[in-house]
Structure 1
Amino acid sequence: MAGDPLNSNRPLRVIIIGAGASGLLMGYKLQRNFDDLSFQIYEKNPDVGGTCTYAPSTEIYDYFKGFQFRSNLGEKTKVSHEVIGAKWDDRAGKWNVEIQDLVNGVVLNDSCDVLVNAGGILNAWKWPAIPGLHDFKGKLVHSAAWDQNLDLTGKHVGLIGNGSSGIQILPAILPQVSKVTTFIRGPSWIVSGVAGFEPRKFEEEEKEEFARDSSTLLKFRRAIEQNMNRIFPLFLADSPTQQRSRESFTASMQGVLEDPGLVDQLIPKWAAGCRRITPGVGYLESLKDEKTTVIYGGIAKISPEGCVTEEGKEYPVDVLVCATGFDTTFKPRFPLVGSHGCQLAEDWKDEPRSYLGVAAPGYPNYYMFLGPNSPIGNGPVLIGIEAQADYICQHITRIQQQSIKSIEVTKEAVDDFIEFKDQYMKQTVWHQDCRSWYKGNTADGKILALWPGSTIHYVETMKTVRYDDFKIRYFGNRFDYLGNGMTKIEMTPDADLAQYVRNEDDAPIIGSKFTYVKASPEQQTSGDVITADSRENGSTES
């Protein structure tokens, strides 16, 4: 690059695995921020998709398809193409990637300078590990692979699970079925009536107003985000917010359930937020419905006719719905071979150890979305994903403009981060004795999934790359990027070469001076118990 001006680009290629929220966002960011860069999105499913809360699957699909269309990502996305292997080529400074065309059954080869895994943590759904599951003679359904043609009219349905999926399914199917037998293994905090979080269908007039007046939609979106960003003190053990919320949740669940038996079985003894809080509109009421039979405890096996409990009693059903979640081990679902010749799945066999949820030592130019210890349950999720996308873009910029062969996080940096994270988590409710996928489906294990702080804390952390935590290697002299002694701006004929001369200093603050945008009176007022006062959320006024 000796003959090129400063900030010149070398051509780069990026491969993105997954066309859900993270993958499509990454594609959009690449188009918006880079020249001289090509990319390809590979999605194993027949169309774009992902996992969201509240909205029905059809609305989620329509949103993703609309975003894909508006962002011109259609031609950049190959669906029914599953990445089945990736290996780092240290000589070339590239990833060699194998992709299986699931329609034609052939294996394709591709390569890239940067590999981004946007497969998602809630992507690989799993059947429950119950003996005899596939001996069941009726219709067997998983909540994450719902058969849109399934007719439950007049059927006796067995529902396994009372997590986020199970609590949405029960009230949704109850009007159609003749009976539901729901199998619940343990208690869970069920929250309903939380202001600003109620799932509902918008009236056509509301949609038209949103389309007509973007400020109305923006106000609505900001109110939701404001409320979600207030909840973090709930997760601090023994905080006033935790105490108030637990009392409120308990009273709310007791008021709906009424039945002392259900109250004792379903209301947890552990702190609210120790495992995922689930907004269950209509769920508790459905448990009391005359069509519903609640079976509390474990299932020993599945017979051809239905479920057999640990007490040996069989419950025959016509349809068995497994709302039993996903593989949340964080391991790649394909062989990923790094610079040290090992696979990431093997490196993480005992514990997934990432750097800020985006990188892993031994895997140069490899980035992931929602990796271990990302802000998955700390508050809003999508802004955390966007922070990760922008962080990855900062790396790509340096790789492209400074003749960098590889950027790889050091093991020392990861070890220090994990040590800090483990110590911090001791003050949170997640550390308490409840079984959760946050802790690898254990009750007393290390917290693997969550960020040690709020979502806003994570977003601020990700704004600046600590390059001293990375090992950087170059194709030649590290200063070759200085080029011919001029900049791209100087070599553009009609560029303004005096743009730095202004009437006032409107440059962004680059030091530690504290600035913030004050919330409106409406945003500062909330009737919901999941809010924090200024002392708990660290806000200040000047």
Structure 2
Amino acid sequence: MDTFGDKGAPDRTRPDHEVIVVGAGFGGIGTGIALQRKGIHDFIIVDKWDRVGGTWHANTYPGVAVDIPSFIYSFSYEQRGDWSRVFAPGSELRDYAESMVDKYGLRAKLRLSTTVVAAEFDDRHSLWRLRTDGGRELTARHIVLAIGGLERPKMPDIQGLNDFGGTLLHTAMWDHDVALRGKRVAVIGTGATALQLIPAIVEETGHLTVFQRTPIWVFPKNDAEVGALGRQILGRKRIRSALRVAGNLGTELAMSGMVVGPPWLTESGRRLAEGPIRRWMRRQVDDPVLRDKLTPRYGLGCKRPSMSNDYLKTFNRSDVSLVTDSIERITERGVITADGTEHEIDVLICATGFKLWDRGAIPPFPVRGRHGLDLERFWDERRYQSYQGVSVPGFPNAFTVTGPYGFVLGSYIWMIEATAAHLSRAIAEAKRRGATEIEIRQDVHDEYFERCLKRQEKNFLFTPVCAGSNTYYIDNKGDSPFRPSTHGEMYWQNRHFDLDVYRYSTGAPHPAAVAVRSEEVS
């Protein structure tokens, strides 16, 4: 096994920092603030980008915006009333992240343009060694992987993709120097990103072709500009908080309620909601054939829906084509579909999402725990699992913000606040006890994992209702590694768990951890 020591790294026995946070998106920023609130100030935040913001820095495609009202998609302790729109554009979310960094004194903690390429736990000295792309080694007693799920763009696995002679783009790697005016442009994908992109570029393109595999449920978007009066209203803390509570309750019922509610209630609620939404969708499209193609056959909630007042209407235009035949291959000139038609294009845009559950995607670099236990291999062989999305046995002093079974469907911000509170509380307790190692107990972790799997048994995602949805809510093992709970339960449990669910020590490996490693090797 290739270790840091093999590369001639100095044998440093004292860590450079108490904590290293990998990722400077909202997860990393929220973690930094949570650590400070627990009196932990010796930490740095490392990120591969040259600016903070994570997803909102990486994604700059036309039309990018938050799909949850801005006054909800913000930290509870840093609510704002000066958003330009109800659903703020992506640039404002990035600016919000920058303002958080400045307000909470995190600027000096940042180590930007620094890519972590490997992380390995040093059993002998009870610390983590991180290697960067510049060959430097960073060490810390604890690490926090604040790497979001929208981290690695996923290109479609289509024959001939690299043979395309025109311009090839992915929405997460947008090139603003590419001109679309008058061009024949094609978009592969009709998910939430495409819903924002397609109406934003259609006025510019000469002809737009959309390749659809699975139609998406579309809600009307009650968006509006927040004028002077709106900012004045949202500037009042009580009004803003009341709107936030109402929005949170609505999201709780509409999303997490669909997962954890009793089957008879979720089924009746889903059917009750589907009717008016389907009727609204059909009214947006003039042509009956197109209307039918754009209408989902799977149930509402099987995959993340989105909102747009313009997406469906776009297909009424004569300069827009919807293609539902499967793509056979890509040539130098365009796209050939299963019916033998070659669609000639100049620009090919892949709105095909991210490598969420793909092997090698999480974590995006090798992470080796006690005795070299590899996290990617562990999850690949044993299914995705972690305690409350934060801790995995065999990986002492390591925590995640967006780990398996940590995210309740809704706003990522709620999860970030919850998991950041959890891990900062655990690290602070280890510091209070004078422990050099902290690790989730195997029995506690297993009990939580089994409880999540048990709750999944009534999840409608695994019923015929969701057949054909191609949902990313289900991973490559057939599980749905989202937390099957309410946001209230997530909030409470992450802040009030018994601190003794963790094992604290001064470095002597626990026999259970050795057994895990032995089984993994065999």
TM-score by length of 1: 0.78
1:133–1:12 Cα change, 3 Å: closer
Please show how residues 323-338 of structure 1 align to structure 2 within 5 Å. Answer: 323-329=351-357, 331-338=362-369
Cα distance in structure 2, aligned partners of 1:455 and 1:327? 25
Q: Does 1:42 align with 2:46?
A: yes
Alignment of 1:78-93 (within 5 A): 78-93=111-126
Cα distance, 1:23 vs. partner? 0.2
**Secondary structure in 2 matching 1:149:** coil
List gaps (5 residues or longer) in structure 1.
Answer: 1-9, 101-105, 477-542
Quick one: distance in 1 between partners of 2:499 and 2:107? 34
Q: CA deviation at 1:150?
A: 3.0
- Per-residue CA deviations over 1:425-456 (Å, capped at 9, x if unaligned) read 222222233321121268xx2212x1112222
For structure 1, which segment, 223-232 or 15-24, has the greater mean C-alpha deviation from structure 2 after superposition?
223-232
Q: Aligned Cα RMSD in Å? A: 2.3
Is residue 2:21 matched to residue 1:26?
no
Could you tell me whether the CA contact under 8 Å between 1:12 and 1:400 is conserved in 2? no
Residue 394 of structure 1, CA deviation: 1.0
After superposition, the Cα gap between the structure-2 partners of 1:317 and 1:191, relative to the gap in structure 1 and judged at 3 Å, is: same
Residues 248-303 of structure 1 show CA distances to partners (whole Å, capped at 9, x for unaligned) of 22222222235332343332232211111122331111122222100013211111
Q: 1:271, 1:429 within 8 Å by CA — same for their partners in 2? A: no
Matched, 1:414 2:445: yes
**Among 94, 97, 100, the residue aligned to 1:64:** 97
Number of residue equivalences: 452
Whether 1:367 aligns to 2:399 is yes
* Structure 2 match to 1:51: 55
Deviation at 1:200? 4.0
SS in 1 for 2:321: strand
Question: CA contact under 8 A between 1:43 and 1:81: conserved in structure 2?
Answer: yes
Q: Is the 8 A contact 2:16 2:139 kept in 1?
A: no
Residue in structure 2 matched with residue 496 of structure 1 by the alignment: none
Name the SS of the counterpart of 2:108 in structure 1: coil
Cα drift, residue 419 of structure 1: 2.3
Residues 451 and 260 of structure 1: CA distance in aligned 2, closer, same or farther (over 3 Å): same
Q: Check if 1:228 corresponds to 2:251.
A: yes
Find the partner of 1:282 among 310, 322, 335. Answer: 310
Q: How does 1:131-280 map to 2 (within 5 A)?
A: 131-193=159-221, 198-207=222-231, 210-211=234-235, 213-231=236-254, 232-235=256-259, 236=261, 237-239=263-265, 240-280=268-308
CA contact (8 A) 1:186 1:297 kept: no
Give secondary structure in 1 for the equivalent of 2:380: coil
User: Is 1:130 aligned to residue 178 of structure 2?
Assistant: no
Q: Deviations over 1:173-212 (max 9, x none)?
A: 112112110000012211124xxxx34442355335545x
Gaps of 5+ in 2: 1-14, 57-65, 68-87, 509-522
| SS of the residue 1:227 aligns to | helix
Structure number with bigger Rg: 1
Q: Any conservation in 2 of the 1:121–1:371 contact (CA below 8 Å)?
A: no
Tell me which residue corresponds to 1:491: none
Question: Equivalent of 1:473, from 486, 496, 505?
Answer: 505
Distance in 2 of aligned mates of 1:111 and 1:162: 43
Contact 1:257 1:284 in 2 (8 A): yes
| Corresponding residue for residue 390 of structure 2 | 358
Partner-residue secondary structure (3-state), 1:395: helix
Counterpart position of 1:485: none
- The answer to whether the 8 A contact 1:162-1:323 is kept is yes
Question: What is the CA–CA distance in structure 1 between the aligned matches of 2:452 and 2:238, rounded to whole Å?
Answer: 39
Tell which deviates more after alignment, 357-366 or 143-152: 143-152
CA, structure 1 residues 111+225, in 2 after alignment: closer, same or farther (shift >3 Å)? same
Equivalent position SS for 1:75: helix
Larger helix proportion of the pair: 2
CA distance in structure 2 between the partners assigned to 1:453 and 1:216 by the alignment: 28
Question: What is aligned with 2:514?
Answer: none
Kindly state the Cα deviation for residue 402 of structure 1 after the two structures are TM-superposed.
0.4
Query: Do the aligned residues in 2 keep the contact of 1:302 with 1:308 (CA within 8 Å)?
Result: yes
Instruction: Give the whole-Å Cα distance in 1 for the aligned partners of 2:17 and 2:458.
Output: 44
CA contact (8 A) 1:375 1:384 kept: yes
